[in-house]
Amino acid sequence: MQHELPVPHGLVRPGAVSLRGVEIAYGSFRVLDRLDLEVAQSEFLVLLGPSGCGKSTLLNAVAGLTEVDAGEIWVGGRNVTWKEPKDRGIAMVFQSYTLYPRMTVRGNMSFGLQVAGIARAEIQRRVREAAAMLRIEDLLDRKPAELSGGQRQRVAIGRALVREAAVCLFDEPLSNLDAQLRTELRTEIKRLHVRLGATMIFVTHDQIEALTLADRIAVMRDRRIQQLGTPTEIYTRPVSRFVATFVGCPAMGFIAGHLVEGRRFKADGLDLSLDGYQALGEMAAGRPVDLGIRPEHITLAPGHPEAIEAPLELVEPMGSDLLAWVRLGTVSLAMRLPAETPLSLGDRLPVMLPASRFNLFDAASGLRI
């Protein structure tokens, strides 16, 4: 065990979380591989990734529910690597609600505080405030079995709030809810974050949740963080084809081809200029690449000299706008257009693919070029 460094008064940040070289293995199966992550005080960080990539493991390590094999975990300037969950200054909400079924809502929210020896009046104040914030005052005397899924998850959030912890951890808290409740509670969690200023680490496999909630998103895949950045960075400049596909709905469209001399991209029946594309490295001619572009970045440009005539194959109305599938060379790409755009199948649409919106990925490694 390691001594805690004395932190100068005034510099203590009760909500900052930092993972330093954290490794976790189940037997010989390594789930996290020398992982580093800094979460700032009051930040809303979302861990996004497909299921099985190690998100829960990472969150449980911060909570102290899973022991690390190597590395350190710091919360609020203290090394908590070997501290019990209750002593880490964290609270947690789980996917499956995990309410104590035989206790009332009030009992669920206050039991932990009672055990911690907190005064009765203080417990009552905290329960009252949390219940008011989550609008569950009327439910305090009910048992979990008498509540709907959305109400149960509110209670679970309430149970976390009464701990008044500087860090709140969420492990897919919305995935068991139906779509409407999910959006509702999502907004509510964001509101709580603004109001409480607590640091929040939120695990999800739902990219919409990630984009709407996060100050920063950490996209995880196969035991490591592939990209860490603001939702805008993740959305507009994904570092890999994996991130590009995982984030965004409807998904980014891809054209397989290769780079040619004079900063151009060539594919079957297509030859596009790459002028305006901000490349990360050199663009060697002949290199096989995947060109990705999001549906809303393809535009109609009647009369423009660079416009490509593309036949319309399919229209998917989506309420406020629509998806028009057009054929470019050998691939179908979706473009997002206003719902009132007059279209009929078989039209040849003059489409523009702006190079500044391209995402080029190496065909072999999948990494951004």
Partner 1 sequence: MSLTASRMLPNNNFVGLRQYATLIDNGRWQVSVVNLALFGVLFLAASLVLGFILAALIDQRVRAESLLRSVFLYPFSMSFIVIGLAWRWLLDPTLGIEKLLHDIGLTGAHFDWLIRPDRVIFTLVLTAVWHASGLVMAIMLAGLRGIDREIWNAARVDGISTWRTLVFIVAPMLRGSFATAFVLLATSVVRLYDLSVATTNGGPGIASELPAKFVMDYLFDRGNIGLAAAAAAAATTMLATVAMVVAPWFYWQTRRSRQAGMA
Ligand X SMILES: Nc1ncnc2c1ncn2[C@@H]1O[C@H](COP(=O)(O)OP(=O)(O)O)[C@@H](O)[C@H]1O
Residues at the site binding Mg ion, with contacts judged by CB under 5 A? 56
At its nearest, how many Å lie between Mg ion and the CB of residue 140? Answer: 30
Helices 120-134 and 179-196: angle between axes, nearest 10 degrees: 130
User: Residue 60's closest CA among 40, 90, 33?
Assistant: 90
Other CB atoms within 10 A of residue 118 CB: 14
- Select the residue interacting with partner 1 from 16, 45, 58, 91 (CB under 8 A): 91
Q: How far apart (Å, rounded) are the C-alpha atoms in residues 19 and 47?
A: 14
- Select the residue interacting with partner 1 from 111, 206, 224, 366 (CB under 8 A): 111
Interface residues with ligand X (CB under 6 A)? 26, 31, 49, 51-57
At its nearest, how many Å lie between partner 1 and the CB of residue 194? Answer: 24
Q: How far apart (Å, rounded) are the C-alpha atoms in residues 69 and 33?
A: 10
Touching partner 1, residues 43-62 (CB under 8 A): 60
Instruction: Based on the shown chain and the rule CB under 8 A, indicate whether residue 79 belongs to the binding site for partner 1.
Output: no
Q: Which residue is nearest to Mg ion (CB)?
A: 56
User: Residue 90's closest CA among 15, 185, 12, 4?
Assistant: 15
CB within 8 A of 183, min separation 6: which ones? none
Amino acid at 279: A
Helices (H), ranges, the chain: 55-63, 105-115, 120-134, 149-161, 179-196, 207-213, 231-236, 241-246
Instruction: Based on the shown chain and the rule CB under 8 A, indicate whether residue 84 belongs to the binding site for partner 1.
Output: yes
Instruction: Based on the shown chain and the rule CB under 8 A, indicate whether residue 181 belongs to the binding site for partner 1.
Output: no
Q: In the complex with Mg ion, which residue's Cβ is closer, 205 or 368?
A: 205
At its nearest, how many Å lie between Mg ion and the CB of residue 75? Answer: 21
Q: Is 337 helix (H, G, I), strand (E, B) or coil?
A: strand
- Select the residue interacting with partner 1 from 79, 95, 183, 299 (CB under 8 A): 95
Instruction: Based on the shown chain and the rule CB under 8 A, indicate whether residue 63 belongs to the binding site for partner 1.
Output: yes
Helices 105-115 and 120-134: angle between axes, nearest 10 degrees: 140
At its nearest, how many Å lie between ligand X and the CB of residue 279? Answer: 32
Q: In the complex with partner 1, which residue's Cβ is closer, 60 or 226?
A: 60
At its nearest, how many Å lie between partner 1 and the CB of residue 63? Answer: 6
CB 226 within 8 A of CB 200: no
Q: In the complex with ligand X, which residue's Cβ is closer, 31 or 127?
A: 31
Q: In the complex with ligand X, which residue's Cβ is closer, 62 or 133?
A: 62
Instruction: Based on the shown chain and the rule CB under 8 A, indicate whether residue 112 belongs to the binding site for partner 1.
Output: yes
Q: In the complex with partner 1, which residue's Cβ is closer, 114 or 124?
A: 114
At its nearest, how many Å lie between partner 1 and the CB of residue 96? Answer: 5
Instruction: Based on the shown chain and the rule CB under 8 A, indicate whether residue 297 belongs to the binding site for partner 1.
Output: no
90 binds, among partner 1, Mg ion, ligand X, none (CB under 5 to 8 A by kind): partner 1
Instruction: Based on the shown chain and the rule CB under 8 A, indicate whether residue 159 belongs to the binding site for partner 1.
Output: yes
CB 106 within 8 A of CB 127: yes
- Select the residue interacting with partner 1 from 145, 179, 194, 364 (CB under 8 A): 145
Instruction: Based on the shown chain and the rule CB under 8 A, indicate whether residue 163 belongs to the binding site for partner 1.
Output: yes
Handedness of CA 304, 307, 313, 314 (dihedral sign): negative
- Output 312-320 pairs: Cβ under 8 A, ≥24 positions apart: 312/343, 312/344, 312/345, 312/346, 312/347, 312/348, 312/349, 313/345, 314/345, 315/343, 315/345
Instruction: Based on the shown chain and the rule CB under 8 A, indicate whether residue 119 belongs to the binding site for partner 1.
Output: no
Instruction: Based on the shown chain and the rule CB under 8 A, indicate whether residue 92 belongs to the binding site for partner 1.
Output: yes
- By CB atoms closer than 10 A (0-12, 13-18, 19+), residue 69 is middle
Interface residues with partner 1 (CB under 8 A) are: 60, 63-65, 84-86, 90-92, 94-96, 98, 100-103, 111-112, 115-116, 144-145, 156, 159, 163
